[in-house]
Amino acid sequence: MVLFLLVILAAVVLGIIGAVAHGLFYLLLIGCLLVVADLVYGVVRLRRPRVRQR
């Protein structure tokens, strides 16, 4: 869960910098790609059955 939140935070920061700074549009694109990759990671992790440890 921590990894998921850190990647989302990094994507938001990159997206804001890419949207505000002139000429850094590629950072906005990288932020969008990070969000998509993180959502795919989250879906895969949720669909995988959890093994109970004793």
Considering only CA atoms, which of 30, 49, 14, 9 is closest in space to residue 1?
9
Considering only CA atoms, which of 15, 20, 21 is closest in space to residue 34?
15
Q: Would you state the pLDDT for residue 40?
A: 92
Q: Would you state the pLDDT for residue 50?
A: 72
Q: Would you state the pLDDT for residue 5?
A: 85
Per-residue pLDDT reduced to its tens digit, 2-54: 888 888 888 889 888 888 888 888 888 888 898 899 889 888 888 877 777 77
